[in-house]
Structure 1
């Protein structure tokens, strides 16, 4: 792959462009928003000039409802040999592309399973897709060369390709992304009218749970609009569990011992099923959560502390697989939770203790 046109310079589009540039690919960027495309270009994502010749691949990085419209215009210009998109819903763009008589042999849907609660080109990173799953949804019409071009894109961005049917993808992202986003927003909405003293007690649990609720509502309306019925079914299924939780909790508050005991069983069953479901989430591609353990370290609010922590961990020959920071503005200390493979936990703990770090 020598050159690529990225249409749409939001978080995902700009991150794709940055990742490709880092691999030596010639990248051109285009966006209907002149400010966004200028920012992306100034970050080194690519040239705002029109490609002098047909590029190898065009990446459509716009909301799901706009994918087919952009695709048909690009194909009318004949700007690329092959086309893909990065929208978070796949069935609707695929159906729209058929309705608009796009050249579907040269188009394959795609969705990198990565993102952030932040949006726009300033939030973009070249390493955003490292190790993440990138779903491709070829059909019986998809040309082999087009699929290969999309696979090259995925590899260049450091991601792992996953082939799925569009409808199966949409059910999956409804379960692991879209419905959870609405649930996070519902929880966060309870905080909006709450007394300030109550909200000030918020800790890492509610921060983690509601983090994604900080995302752009307008963007998420576009995403949910394209997968509305799937998400509605999931929320309806979830509502049955909520009804059980309410019933169990009210029984736990009763004076009758039998009712209290029965209520506790209902709630405990819900918590156990939640625990079992959480355990199925991979900690990292190709691994399971049980292979990792967490070391929690107290970290001061001084410049360079986090870098010093990573340096000390590296000196022990320990690779930090994931890191989570718990810190509130104005507080002198925070906590860094370092995920490492189980066999290296004691090595890391000993090294950090010897270097003067306090850990839990």
Structure 2
């Protein structure tokens, strides 16, 4: 069979049909080599078209100029607007400017609210009333004092001991000046805080001491320390440090003396009164706690007298009748 007959369709040609050679049909080695060379030449000869770099660059430059021009026009427009926040997106980056009153815009009075201002999520919760921040102590000072006390206590925490957590886990009940005595010289500040979300069995009550801008100690209790057979009001057994000076100074207290006392109340208790010496202190209820404070101008020997009342005004608790309450000072 001639070479032409081999390549014809009638002879079972596969070169043009894309098929395979018929069974038993031989292939001329020279022809096969020629086919391979032709395919190789085609492969090397094929090149993709070059990318239109110049055109792409021109488009990119034009787009950037368009965005800058649009941003400039937007800024010019905003400069003529009154107070407002605005955001400009330039090149995919958002720059936000804070609201700033314009020179000619009249100032609007701020809304007045009797409710305490909410604290940021990273800060402790505020007390129920601003009156629980005593002696001119600001909210920022109280929150900072709590953070320092937590850090101070954490530095002494041993392995396996429960962590006090973060300041944001607490609600501040009270902040007041502390009076130094023979046992703990130097005036400072007390900050009292409690867990704001933990269940009662796991809640933490923390009394911090800050002096000269540094934490010097703290007293903590975990869970509700009220006895099972106690009354609807339970005075915190460790709050004595808030209303008395050192036993070493008995009869020689520094006066006047700012005092406070804290404790828990049942939901049925709607009012608590506390008298100390010959005066009655200011008392508030705050999320299941009572906080009372006042000023002594003379030395006393009896502890604060605490009473609790229900919504009908009925006396439901009297510390004089509480077998667990220490009624006299040491």
Same-fold call, TM > 0.5? no
Higher relative contact order (CA 8 A, sep 6+): 1
TM-score, scaled relative to structure 1: 0.22
Looking at secondary structure, tell me which structure has more strand per residue: 2
Question: Greater share of helix residues, 1 or 2?
Answer: 1
TM-score normalised to structure 2 length: 0.24
